Amino acid sequence: MITNSQARDDAPEYEFEAEPGLPEPLPQGERLLWQGSPDWRVMAREALHTRMLSVYFAVLLAWRGATVLSNGSSWLDAGVAVLWLLPLAVMAIAVLSLMAWLIARTSVYTITDKRVVMRIGVVLTITFNLPHTQIESAGLRTNADGSGDVTLLLNDADRIAYVHLWPHARPWHLKRSQPMLRALPQARSVATILSAALAESAGVAPTALRAVVVPPKQAQAPRGNQQLAA
């Protein structure tokens, strides 16, 4: 059963935790296999799309300058027009970067031999306990730098609202949300640990990573989507 535990509003950050990232000490016989947090730079780039936003603002600023020049104004006038918009662009990217830093700082993912625990939430902390028996399958998406995401497909009867998970959820899967260990610096290593844990829990041999079909608009060379276990 999936359970949530919510922090008290007046409690100092994480002081109620029995162990970092866990609402209570691990029961006797349960082993901690891995624990970590998102990389805020990857979170900003992949989840909050700061790179795409930077390109958008660069095009917007270039268009603004070109428009001023096409109206017969001087290069100085064009530069002034661009400078008026530049602070807004910098502020927008800075706010998203700060948000990514806060998300990464307040998120802890834990994998044990029996479950996956996600402690997330910037303002209100929520902990999701996901037993291996309720994870139908898991997937891996990697970036060129080795970072990436590990997605968890839960049994159809076990669902978590997308809004409660974001941004720790697979994008656009709203009806049947998929929890995601997001922006991991070494995603493949984490995926290997999880794959072995799921296989051990199911009493079968670990499943080798295998490629799955990627939709055309997502099929970019630097990235890969792979199935861990089913």
Same domain for 68 and 20: no
pTM of the model: 0.79
| Tens-binned pLDDT, residue by residue, of the chain (230 aa) | 444 443 333 334 445 566 778 888 888 999 999 999 999 999 999 999 999 999 999 999 999 999 988 888 888 888 888 888 899 999 999 999 999 999 999 999 999 999 999 999 998 899 999 999 999 999 999 999 999 999 999 998 888 999 999 999 999 998 899 999 999 999 999 999 999 999 988 776 555 444 332 333 333 334 455 665 55
Among 103, 120, 143, where does a domain finish?
A: 103
Domains contained in the chain, number: 2
Per-residue model confidence (pLDDT) at position 18? 61
- For 12, the 3-state DSSP assignment is coil
Look up the domain containing 164 and give its range.
3-38+107-229
Dihedral of the alpha carbons of 160, 47, 224, 212, in degrees to the nearest 10: 30
In Å, how far are 24, 47, 75, 189 from 184, measured between CA atoms?
Answer: 24, 12, 45, 10
**In CATH, what number is assigned to the domain containing residue 12?**
2.30.29
Q: Are 117 and 110 in contact (CB under 8 A)?
A: yes
- For 112, the 3-state DSSP assignment is strand
Among 103, 119, 146, where does a domain finish?
A: 103
Same domain for 146 and 58: no
Per-residue model confidence (pLDDT) at position 58? 93
Per-residue model confidence (pLDDT) at position 213? 28
In Å, how far are 22, 84, 149 from 79, measured between CA atoms?
Answer: 53, 9, 41
Per-residue model confidence (pLDDT) at position 179? 96
Same domain for 124 and 184: yes
Q: Which two tokens stand for residue 103?
A: 């998300």
Segments of 7-114 assigned E as strands? 32-36, 108-112
Alpha carbon distance, N-terminus to C-terminus of the chain: 19
Closest CA to 103 of 181, 217, 188: 181
126 phi, psi to nearest 5 deg: -125, 135
